[in-house]
């Protein structure tokens, strides 16, 4: 695989860009692999990448029923932050945030990481106390955050209205090194690196059955035939319950559609990410000028990826109070993503009741920000049987009552 560089761009420009190689191969599946990863989204591709980079395991297939990155990876609002309350959460999200900072160099692929900063508005006294508590916890965890005043909020976001009639801005939890990245580019960069290591990215290949013998996985049945493996990783977000059922066990998760939209593009007016949990909405501005707006999940379980009109109304109505200037913007498009949610709003990265099957799911509304940290830890778990990053997120915590309660840190879908 040729490296991308300024010299490569100049060379290809001179020959009308006729010499670019395919970014990743599209092979037919082999009969057997050491490891099969089901799901070619960000988490699945990151797991495969770190299996190869950190553990030398490259006889790997990443199987995707649709197209690469076509699920939640391509349907989120790209926020990256690590200001979580509980220690295990802060550790894995901060690992992810730090890996995002060097991802473009590591993958030789521009993922457009932008450490523009993320603020979470405090609009009630209860939120002020909660975010001050989180700032203290983050200090002990080595995560750099601070609670800032309304004056500082206005300096960072001039378009904000601090004196909303219902919920004035009383301050904010601010993480300066948080930000955003290009969601598609993250998937493409990992896929290119995996393919370069000799791994097979197999698209349009749906898994229709998981085969095990004597309580141990031996392979999967797909629309492209049977494929054997020694280890299997299930990384399919909202469809994890279905795949777990095929493997013979159940998961404590539910799937719900998560709603988001973008406005028509406008001139630059906001260079940070703002989350307003009390009025239930969050917003940032993309490099193309669109206002990227996210809201909540539908009030019912489902697998639809369609937009929901009542969520547009609720979310925009809430944000107009805090950002009056957006009232006259037109919506460009909307969409839904299928998120898998656990009872404690924390993920599952764990061994399963079936030997050599591993599960990575339950990220809910926080999946994109965790991609590199999730892949790093899950690859370590699959390769060695143990990872300090994932140990607290195992399945046994639900029967033992060791919950990692992030329902407040998750706050609003983001």
Element (H, E) at 180: strand 179-180
Q: Which of these ranges, 172-176, 315-319, 391-395, 407-411, has the smallest mean pLDDT? A: 407-411
Q: Report the C-alpha gap between 226 and 212 in whole angstroms.
A: 12
Q: Which pLDDT belongs to residue 19?
A: 87
What is 24-109+182-252+344-410's CATH topology?
FAD/NAD(P)-binding domain (3.50.50)
Tell me if 132 sits within 8 A of 147, measured CB to CB: yes
Query: 99-102 contacts: CB < 8 A, separation 24 or more?
Result: 99/372, 99/373, 99/376, 100/181, 100/372, 101/177
Q: Report the C-alpha gap between 154 and 156 in whole angstroms.
A: 5
CA-CA-CA-CA dihedral for 130, 135, 139, 143, to nearest 10:
110
Q: Which pLDDT belongs to residue 408?
A: 58
What is 118-179+255-342's CATH topology?
D-Amino Acid Oxidase; Chain A, domain 2 (3.30.9)
pLDDT single digits (tens) 58-115: 999 999 999 999 888 988 899 999 999 999 999 999 999 999 999 999 999 999 999 9
Q: Which pLDDT belongs to residue 146?
A: 97
Q: Which residue has the higher pLDDT, 233 or 294?
A: 233
Task: Report the chain's mean pLDDT, rounded to a whole number.
Answer: 92
pLDDT at 262 over 80: yes
- Dihedral sign, CA of 284, 120, 349, 144? positive
Kindly state the average pLDDT of the residues 320-330.
Answer: 91
Q: Report the C-alpha gap between 23 and 296 in whole angstroms.
A: 35
Q: Which distant-in-sequence residues (6+ apart) come within 8 Å of 226 by Cβ? A: 211, 219, 220
Q: Which residue has the higher pLDDT, 60 or 333?
A: 60
Q: Where are the domains of the chain?
A: 24-109+182-252+344-410, 118-179+255-342
Q: Which pLDDT belongs to residue 410?
A: 53
Q: Which pLDDT belongs to residue 295?
A: 81
Q: Which pLDDT belongs to residue 208?
A: 95
Please list the alpha-helical segments (H only) found in 214-341: 240-247, 309-322
Q: Which of these ranges, 141-155, 244-258, 346-360, has the smallest mean pLDDT? A: 244-258
Kindly state the average pLDDT of the residues 290-315.
Answer: 82
Q: Which pLDDT belongs to residue 66?
A: 93
pLDDT single digits (tens) 122-140: 999 999 999 999 999 999 9
pLDDT single digits (tens) 382-414: 999 999 999 999 999 999 999 998 875 554 444
Kindly state the average pLDDT of the residues 337-353.
Answer: 92
**In this prediction, what percent of the chain has a pLDDT beyond 90?**
76
Q: Which of these ranges, 295-309, 327-341, 384-398, has the smallest mean pLDDT? A: 295-309
Q: Which pLDDT belongs to residue 120?
A: 96
């Amino acid at each position: 695989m040729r490296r991308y560089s300024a010299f490569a761009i100049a060379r290809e420009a001179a020959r009308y860009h006729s010499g670019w190689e395919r970014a990743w191969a599209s092979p037919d599946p082999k009969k057997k692999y050491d490891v099969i990863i089901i799901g070619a989204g960000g988490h699945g591709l990151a797991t495969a990448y770190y299996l190869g980079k950190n553990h030398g395991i490259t006889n790997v297939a990443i199987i995707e029923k649709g197209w690469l990155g076509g699920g939640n990876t391509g349907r989120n609002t790209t926020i990256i932050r690590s200001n979580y309350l509980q220690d295990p959460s802060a550790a894995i999200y901060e690992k992810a945030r730090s890996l995002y900072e060097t991802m473009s160099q590591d993958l030789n692929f521009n993922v457009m990481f932008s450490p523009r900063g993320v603020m979470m508005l405090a609009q009630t006294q209860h939120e002020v106390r909660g975010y001050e508590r989180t700032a203290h916890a983050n200090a002990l965890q080595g995560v750099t955050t601070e609670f800032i005043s309304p004056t500082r909020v206005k300096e960072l976001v001039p378009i904000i209205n601090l004196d909303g009639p219902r919920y004035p801005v009383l301050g904010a939890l601010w993480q300066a090194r948080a930000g955003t990245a290009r969601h598609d580019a993250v998937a493409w960069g990992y896929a290119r690196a995996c393919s370069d290591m000799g791994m097979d990215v197999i698209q349009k290949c749906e898994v229709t059955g998981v085969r095990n013998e004597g309580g141990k996985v031996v392979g999967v049945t797909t629309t492209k035939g049977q494929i054997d493996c020694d280890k299997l990783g299930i990384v399919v977000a909202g469809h994890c319950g279905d795949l777990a059922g095929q493997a013979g066990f159940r998961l404590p998760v539910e799937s719900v559609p998560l709603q988001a939209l973008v406005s028509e593009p406008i001139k630059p007016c906001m260079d940070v990410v703002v989350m307003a949990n009390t009025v239930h909405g969050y917003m940032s501005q993309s490099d193309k000028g669109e206002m990227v707006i996210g809201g909540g999940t539908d009030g019912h379980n489902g697998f639809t990826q369609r937009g929901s009109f009542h969520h547009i109304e609720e979310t925009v109505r809430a944000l107009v109070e805090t950002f009056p200037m957006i009232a006259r913007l037109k919506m460009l498009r909307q969409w839904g993503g299928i998120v898998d949610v656990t009872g404690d709003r924390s993920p599952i990265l764990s061994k399963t009741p079936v030997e050599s099957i591993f599960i990575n799911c339950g990220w809910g509304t926080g999946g994109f920000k965790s991609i590199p940290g999730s892949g790093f830890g899950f690859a370590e778990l699959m390769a060695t049987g143990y990872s300090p990053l994932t140990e607290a997120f195992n399945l046994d915590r639900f029967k033992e009552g060791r919950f990692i309660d992030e329902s407040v840190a998750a706050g609003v879908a983001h």
